[in-house]
Amino acid sequence: MKTICTEEMKAMLLFIADRVMESKPMLTEVDSRIGDGDHGIGMETGFRAVKEVLSGEDFDTVNQLFRQTGIAMLNSMGGASGVVFSTMFMGGVKGMQDTSQIDTQAFADMMSRSLEAVQKRGGARRGDKTMVDALEPACAAMSEYQGGDFGEIFCRAAEAAQKGVEETKRYAAKFGRAKSLMERSIGYQDAGATSVWIIFRAAADWCLKKEAEEA
Ligand code: ADP
Ligand code: MG
Task: List the chain pLDDT tens, one digit each, 215 residues.
Answer: 999 999 999 999 999 999 999 999 999 999 999 888 999 999 999 999 999 999 989 999 999 999 999 999 999 998 889 999 999 999 999 989 999 999 999 999 999 999 999 999 999 999 999 999 999 999 999 999 999 999 999 999 999 999 999 999 999 999 887 777 778 889 999 999 999 999 999 999 999 999 999 88
* CB neighbours of residue 69 within 10 Å: 29
User: Distance between CA 202 and CA 192 in Å, rounded?
Assistant: 15
pLDDT for the residue 182: 76
User: Distance between CA 104 and CA 215 in Å, rounded?
Assistant: 21
pLDDT for the residue 185: 83
Identify which of 81, 168, 195 to mutate to test ligand 1's pocket (most ligand atoms within 8 A of the CB).
81
H or E element that contains 158: helix 150-168
Backbone angles phi, psi at 4, to 5 degrees: -125, 125
pTM beyond cutoff 0.75 = yes
Q: With beta carbons less than 8 A apart as the criterion, state whether 77 and 57 touch.
A: no
Identify which of 30, 33, 39 to mutate to test ligand 1's pocket (most ligand atoms within 8 A of the CB).
39
pLDDT for the residue 8: 97
User: Distance between CA 184 and CA 170 in Å, rounded?
Assistant: 11
The structural domains of the chain, ordered by start, are 3-214 (1.25.40.340)
CA-nearest residue for atom 1, ligand 1, is 176
User: Distance between CA 185 and CA 194 in Å, rounded?
Assistant: 15
